[in-house]
Structure 1
Amino acid sequence: MDSTHRGGDPANLPSDSVRGSNQSGVRAHNERLVLSLVRQYGPLPKAEIARLTGLSAQTVSVIMRALEKEGLLKKGEPVRGKVGQPSVPMSLARSGAFFLGLKVGRRSLDLLLTDFNGHVEGRVHLSHRYPTPDSVVKFANGAIAQLLDQLSPEHRARVAGLGIATPFRIWDWAKPLGLPASELEAWRDRKIADELAEAWDFPVYLRNDGSAACGAELVFGDQNKPRDFLYFFIGFFVGGGLVIDNTLFTGRTGNAAALASIPIGIKGTKVNQLVDVASIYTLERLVIDAGGDSGMIWDNPAQWDLPEGVLDAWISRAAEGFAYAILSATCLIDFECVVIDGWLPDPVRAALVSRTAQRLNEIRVAGIEVPELREGSIGRDARALGAASLPLSDKFLVDRNAFLKG
């Protein structure tokens, strides 16, 4: 899915926590603020940036010239009004910086190279039975070298970092992968981010894969979303993220919004969870039971050719699970919106969202408002793009959370 940034409405002023300062010694903060606004709203003239930030026109001019000189901003075509000088909108320069994003999946690995706008400049993909620390580090080092070789020396110097999106506590999930627990034990004591940081001359960042996918929706996705929303991403296991006041909430251990574990039914002592019905691994098992080839699910996420009836049965069960999970979560936090995305062909995602919305309308729970349901705007690359957004946020935006307020 195209990851082009979609601008928001400049009329929605930023909150006070991200307004600029005209005092000396804070130019780095103000530069980040300008870059954050241009990323969120699209091309902006100096006068509009001054209005949005509260900075003086002179301060904004100095900042814009510096950012343009550094190759981070570029001028657009002048826009002539009825009176006065024409305004010149400034936008992000695509080659201003580059970022790498690594997705560690249970069935596949992806490494993306993105430009300053979040456009994917290159990718390397590998399907596997399951990830080991050794295989992930080997893949990452080879893929990074391959993608960096595509850049000119000037652009290579503008690579700002590598982000990693990976399942946390991956050793807990050996059984669904069909593995003995010993096969994943090596993950307990390995720190692949540290290992990769030693091999390259740029910083490396790490985030839970569900939270990373949610971060991609915030940074690169549709900017016209409510300030509070729940986000689901369907991969081998379903996961997601929690957004409150336009800020990704990751929690004490970085694993907040562990949506896979939400109970959707209890019979005696047996608990059915969302992961049991809304994960692709359950679809994989249905395909295998029907005599189909489950490998194509991971090799070709843009288009699936599955045995008749299998996909519809999975969508029905997943939609039922999502409906109960959404209602349970809404009882705790009054979300205005729920977003569903995943490693899915677009028509499958649309059908799943439609079926879930239908089920939500059929269920009646006293005392709560049913939230709006939307499709995600990133798609199957959300985890890798979310990983790439980590160095972008750390290096160029106000900070990883405050810049998202607006």
Structure 2
Amino acid sequence: MADNAKAGDDRPSSVIQPLRGSNQSGLRAYNQRLVLSLVYSHGNLAKTDIARLTGLSAQTGSVIMRELEAEDLIVKGEPIRGKVGQPSVPLSINPDGAFFIGLKVGRRSAELILINFLGEPRATLRKSYPWPTPPLIIEFVRDGIAGMLAELPAALRDRVAGLGIATPFELWNWTEQAGAPREEMDQWRGCDLRAELARICAMPVYLQNDATAACAAELVFGTHPGLSDFLYLYIGTFVGGGVVLNGSVHSGRTGNAGALGPLPVTGPEGNPVQLLDRASIMLLERMLKSAGRDPSPLWNSPDHWEGFEELADEWIGIVARGLAQAIVSAVSIIDFEHVIIDGGLPTEVRAKIVAATQAEVGLYDLRGLEVPGILPGTVGHLARSLGAASLPLFDKYLIDRNARLGSA
């Protein structure tokens, strides 16, 4: 793939609408991305479907599909017979056609993931820590990528197309909330993590805000069908979010659109506080420490929280009240069809948060507002690392009609 276009398309076919191709040879790379995007969205398509959706001539379409097949990016399925004329041969994405690595840098843990062309994890590594520093993250990535590449068959290693990074912006500004020493977190000032990792990686490196990357993962790899406009909320160490409009992630002027953590909400004494103080796992950590309980399972076992159910239920109520206020404020500005709530937490905890938030939203005076559907996310604690891995996928192979999520 020769150009730098990028996509924010989704698996459900309603997200990628028919896009028009060009029969001019100079736009061949664009047409290749167009075909890949359509096949990626629909799962598989016959040549006749591709011609109908793109408007490409039969000759141009055949040439492009032969090129993509020669590059091992698409594969032919079994012919479908029983109709008039030649049997239809479905084309689908080759899972081993390309691979992508994603890095999530969190305030309590880092995660490295290797995915195939369909977004299926091939390897994951996780490291917990009291707080992150640049040397710690660089060493984790260097050793982790070397191990992941060693596990790939030799013939596939040159198909790893890039490393995406999902990280909170301005990590040094959250020293007090993270309980980290100021001098440790100040190492992030002036640290260009993308440049540092590019020096040790023989591949393009991309960077995006962690919550926006998680939003992209839900859009691309999530299983809610046909969602094209939604507000996304991710509950991690702190809460963050993202915005999807017209089937693409809207990252905003600085890449921080939907970063709802600083949004003012009502605190315990009726005073305004930031949402991140009311709807973050950090709050539950503090509650556990105050009760003399070990908070490490929150970070070491994001799929299994056991032994502190009563405190977790109390925390869920606090989270729901904060999220409800944020949602009502957000839909007063943009009439989102849906709100998706996800996070680095167990499935049953997420379900309780969704139900409690729905109930809290119902307590507001909603005259003049269309209440959005509130849904659980479908990607879970891997959302940020998967979103990071999707950055090179978008940039190298697919088409986004709206905006880039990150750049090499």
Question: For the superposition of Structure 1 and Structure 2, which TM-score range results when normalised by the shorter chain?
Answer: over 0.9
Question: What is the alpha-carbon distance in structure 2 between the residues aligned to residue 72 and residue 303 of structure 1?
Answer: 37
Question: What is the alpha-carbon distance in structure 2 between the residues aligned to residue 291 and residue 267 of structure 1?
Answer: 22
Q: 2:13 aligns to what?
A: 9
Structure 1, residues 117-155: CA drift from partner, whole Å, max 9, x if none? 000000111100000011111111111111111112221
The Cα of 1:244 is off from its aligned counterpart by: 1.5
The Cα of 1:266 is off from its aligned counterpart by: 6.8
The Cα of 1:403 is off from its aligned counterpart by: 10
Q: CA RMSD for the aligned pairs?
A: 2.0
Greater shift in the superposed pair: 179-188 or 367-376: 179-188
C-alpha contact (below 8 Å) 1:98/1:116 kept by paired residues: yes
Give the match's secondary structure for 1:149. Answer: helix
Greater shift in the superposed pair: 323-332 or 72-81: 72-81
Q: 2:103 aligns to what?
A: 102
Where do residues 7-406 of structure 1 align in structure 2 (5 Å cutoff)?
7-9=11-13, 14=17, 18-222=19-223, 224-265=225-266, 270-399=271-400, 401=402
Alignment CA distance shift 1:386-1:250 (3 Å): same
Greater shift in the superposed pair: 297-306 or 328-337: 297-306
Aligned length: 397
Alignment CA distance shift 1:187-1:210 (3 Å): same
The Cα of 1:293 is off from its aligned counterpart by: 1.6
Alignment CA distance shift 1:229-1:310 (3 Å): same
Which AA in structure 2 matches 1:396? Y
C-alpha contact (below 8 Å) 1:230/1:337 kept by paired residues: yes
The Cα of 1:228 is off from its aligned counterpart by: 1.5
Question: What is the alpha-carbon distance in structure 2 between the residues aligned to residue 113 and residue 218 of structure 1?
Answer: 19
C-alpha contact (below 8 Å) 1:338/1:372 kept by paired residues: yes
Greater shift in the superposed pair: 356-365 or 117-126: 356-365
Alignment CA distance shift 1:300-1:262 (3 Å): same
Give the TM-score, by structure 1 length. 0.93
The Cα of 1:269 is off from its aligned counterpart by: 10
Same amino acid, percent of matched pairs: 51
Greater shift in the superposed pair: 102-111 or 349-358: 349-358
Which AA in structure 1 matches 2:85? G
C-alpha contact (below 8 Å) 2:263/2:275 kept by paired residues: yes
Question: What is the alpha-carbon distance in structure 1 between the residues aligned to residue 244 and residue 369 of structure 2?
Answer: 19
C-alpha contact (below 8 Å) 1:393/1:400 kept by paired residues: no
Which AA in structure 1 matches 2:237? F
Structure 1, residues 289-333: CA drift from partner, whole Å, max 9, x if none? 222221011111111113241011011110111111000000011
Structure 1: 5+ residue stretches without partners: none
The Cα of 1:267 is off from its aligned counterpart by: 9.3
Q: 2:4 aligns to what?
A: none
Question: What is the alpha-carbon distance in structure 2 between the residues aligned to residue 171 and residue 379 of structure 1?
Answer: 26
The Cα of 1:19 is off from its aligned counterpart by: 1.9
Question: What is the alpha-carbon distance in structure 2 between the residues aligned to residue 270 and residue 135 of structure 1?
Answer: 38
Which AA in structure 2 matches 1:117? L
Alignment CA distance shift 1:223-1:60 (3 Å): farther
Give the match's secondary structure for 2:323. Answer: helix
The Cα of 1:377 is off from its aligned counterpart by: 1.5
Give the match's secondary structure for 1:333. Answer: coil
C-alpha contact (below 8 Å) 1:112/1:122 kept by paired residues: yes
Alignment CA distance shift 1:399-1:335 (3 Å): closer
Question: What is the alpha-carbon distance in structure 2 between the residues aligned to residue 13 and residue 241 of structure 1?
Answer: 19
Greater shift in the superposed pair: 347-356 or 383-392: 347-356
C-alpha contact (below 8 Å) 2:249/2:403 kept by paired residues: no
Greater shift in the superposed pair: 116-125 or 55-64: 55-64
Alignment CA distance shift 1:379-1:141 (3 Å): same
